[in-house]
Amino acid sequence: MASAMHEGVFKLETTTFSGKPKLNFAYIFGLILAFILIVTIGYLYVQKFVSSVYFQKSAVALNQKNDPAAAEAFMMKAINVNDSDIYLRSLSEIYLVKINQLVNSDRRDAEAVRTEFQSLLRLAETAARRAVVADNTNYQNWLSLARVYETVVTLNVPGAYDNAKAAYEEAIKRNPRSPLILTLLGRLEVLRGNRTQAADYLRQALAQKPDYADASAILNQIEKRR
């Protein structure tokens, strides 16, 4: 075999890019781009996976263990990895749960309670607003913001009603066929004491979905009080 190769019976063909610098550069550049793309896709996948794990842990802590502090901690970890609007909405809801627990607690230090209440309300508003900034086309983000303000309407917090209604109206612009949003607007008007306006919204909701139980229940309550 060696002698045959020496005599030229067999010829070895080799490929070299040394004489083709443009092809050599394009080949290497393509490999680099492919490597970067693979790494980027892998990183994004890992990000989503890790954040979803924290999200699930937060949900378990809140819904099964009734531990909003742990739920908040896990949700913050999820957001630090991936600040998705759904995680920000969920964080806002956690703060509203903490507000509800605070209001229904038997703590007697009024000043401390008021300070903590204001802090939690501010955190809930900030999280909801961040969700809106992340995706202002998603009506659910506007609903989350509206819920924050609606929480304090009955406490006569200045601007709460107006801000809640404005956020609900932004939501319905993005989902005009939603009986849910009309029902929420009706509920807001009930909290405000505007029963006539509330009934109008609820009838609109029932016109869209005649068997919508939530709207029907609130409307029946209004009519019984007349």
Backbone φ, ψ for residue 22 (5° rounding): -70, -45
First-to-last alpha carbon distance for the chain, in angstroms, is 108
- 89 neighbors 124 (Cβ within 8 angstroms): no
Q: Residue 91 in contact with residue 61, Cβ under 8 Å?
A: no
In the block, tokens 């996976």 appear at: 49
Q: Burial code of 112-129, b = ≥16 C-beta within 10 A, e = fewer?
A: eeeebbeebbebbbebbb
Q: Helices (DSSP H) in the chain: which residue ranges?
A: 2-7, 21-63, 68-81, 85-103, 110-134, 139-150, 160-174, 179-192, 195-208, 213-224
The predicted pLDDT at position 38 comes to: 72
Which phi and psi (to 5°) does residue 78 adopt? -60, -45
Q: Work out the number of other CB atoms within 10 angstroms of the CB of residue 151.
A: 22
* 133's tokens: 């900034």
Half-sphere exposure of 197 (CA within 13 A, CB side): 11
Does the global pTM surpass 0.85? Answer: no
In this prediction, residue 224 carries a pLDDT of 87
pLDDT in 10s for each residue of the chain, 226 residues: 445 444 554 454 444 545 555 556 666 766 677 667 776 666 555 667 788 899 999 999 999 999 999 999 999 999 999 989 999 999 999 999 999 999 899 888 999 999 999 999 999 999 999 999 999 999 999 999 999 999 999 988 899 999 999 999 999 999 999 999 999 999 999 999 999 999 999 999 999 999 999 999 999 999 988 7
Q: How far is CA 177 from CA 20, 125, 139, 140, in A?
A: 63, 26, 12, 14
d(CA 150, CA 182): 14
Residue 33 CA, chain-centre distance (Å), reads 33
- For 140, the token pair is 């659910």
